[in-house]
Every structure is written in C-alpha cells, then in structure tokens.
Amino acid sequence: MSKNTPDLHTAYSLKSPEENKRLYAEWAGDYDDSFAALNDYQLHIHTARAFVGAGGQGPVLDVGAGTGLCGAVLAGLGVGPIDATDISGEMLDQAMRKDIYRDAIEADLNQGLPVPRGSYAGVVSSGTFTHGHLGPEVFPALLRVARPGAQFALSINAKHFEALGFADTFHRLEAGQIGNLSFTQVRIYGDLAAGPNKDDTAQIALFEKM
C-alpha cells in the first residue's frame, strides 16, 4: 500500500479492519479533493436525497461517515441532528471540522456500536457497503440502535451486493424485522468521471425497522 497515493483500487483490495484504518488514516486529509472531487463522486448525494425523499428525519446515524460528505448533504436538506460513526478516527476528525455533526463515534461495526438501543430515527450509509469494506453481517448492529419505524437508506455497491448475498439477507429480514423495502439503482460517479470504475452503480436500499 502506498503511503502517498491511496486510491480506489487500494480501498477495494482491503481485507481487514486494520487495513481499513491504515488506509483511511493516510487518505483522510485530502480525501475530498483526491477522490471525491477528482472522480465526480455522486453516491452521497443520491443516498441523502433518497433518505429525505422517503421521509427520513433525525436523529440520524451516518454510518461510515468518512469525511462527512453524506452528512453535509443531509444537513443541507434540513436533516438533524446527525451523528457520525466510522472505523477511522482520522476521517472523523475531518468530518467534525465541517460543523454538521452532533457527535462522532469511532467504532468497528463488526464489533457493534457503543450506542444505546433505539437511539436513532434514521440510519444512512453511503459508500461503506462496498468491496473491501462491510457486508450484510453488520445489519443487526444497525437495527439495534434504530427505533421502531426508523427509516434506513443504505447504498450498496452493485457488484458487492451480488457477491456477498445481500438479497438473501434482506429477504430474511423482511420476515419480521424490516418493512417497506425498496431498491433504487444509481450511478456512483457523475459524467466527469474517468477510469475503470466510472460506470459503477449502487443499489440504495430503503426500508423501515419494524
């Protein structure tokens, strides 16, 4: 892993929480410019708008908040309060500088969240359910911190969705834990993007906790 030029290929190749922490510690300072702006990244905008369009409201947990791209869109749409959680303390430091979050929670979702049950009326995640990152095994941790009726908007890389069996997980959850499930496919990057991933898509899963 280069210490000077973190990139999407490196992020997609991550294998462990420790590798995630190392990469994003390096990337945090210029992530918004070296990745988001350079690649015309749009997923956070689609995800935030989908959440609001479904009637989502605060308090909201922004899962895998990174530098706060999605949170900034949510705040601009009038949603709040918003808490940020991420495995990278360095990314959270950048997010908190945007003055949009109430609190920052550094946590590995594979180990759960140090948050009381039923704390949130909404849960949003943009760009975290993707190659080298989280799979559907963390859904119980997210459902635990959500209130009954809480609105979810989770973006999931389309190829990752297929590879890790997200569809089967959602089918099981519909048996009594979630309702009003729908999916919208969106482009992750805009028209200015280039490179091998420029046409990547994601599924935005919208649902409510029962």
Specify the CATH number for the domain of residue 201: 3.40.50.150
Query: ω before 136 within 30° of 0 (cis)?
Result: no
Would you say the C-alpha torsion 175, 178, 183, 189 has a positive or negative sign?
negative
Instruction: Give how many domains the chain has, as a whole number.
Output: 1
Q: Is 66 left (phi over 0), alpha (psi -120 to 50) or beta?
A: left
Inter-helix orientation angle 69-76/43-53, to 10° = 40
Rounded to whole angstroms, how far apart are CA atoms 6 and 93? 18
Element containing residue 82 per DSSP (H, E): strand 82-86
The answer, yes or no, to whether residue 154 has pLDDT greater than 50, is yes
Rounded to whole angstroms, how far apart are CA atoms 170 and 178? 8
Rounded to whole angstroms, how far apart are CA atoms 172 and 115? 25
Rounded to whole angstroms, how far apart are CA atoms 148 and 74? 21
Q: Which of 186, 185, 178 is nearest to 207 (CA)?
A: 178
> What pLDDT, in 10s, does the model give residues 25-82?
554 445 444 556 667 889 999 999 999 999 999 999 999 999 899 999 999 999 999 9
Torsions phi, psi for 155 (to 5 deg): -85, 140
The answer, yes or no, to whether residue 14 has pLDDT greater than 50, is no
* Owning domain of residue 71: 8-209
**Does any domain span residue 198?**
yes
**Does any domain span residue 1?**
no
**Does any domain span residue 3?**
no
Mean pLDDT along residues 3-12: 51
**Does any domain span residue 22?**
yes
**Does any domain span residue 71?**
yes
Element containing residue 130 per DSSP (H, E): none
Which stretch, 16-20, 120-124, 130-134, has highest mean pLDDT?
A: 120-124
> What pLDDT, in 10s, does the model give residues 162-204?
889 999 999 999 999 999 999 999 999 988 877 777 889 999 9
Tokens of residue 22, six digits? 């190392």
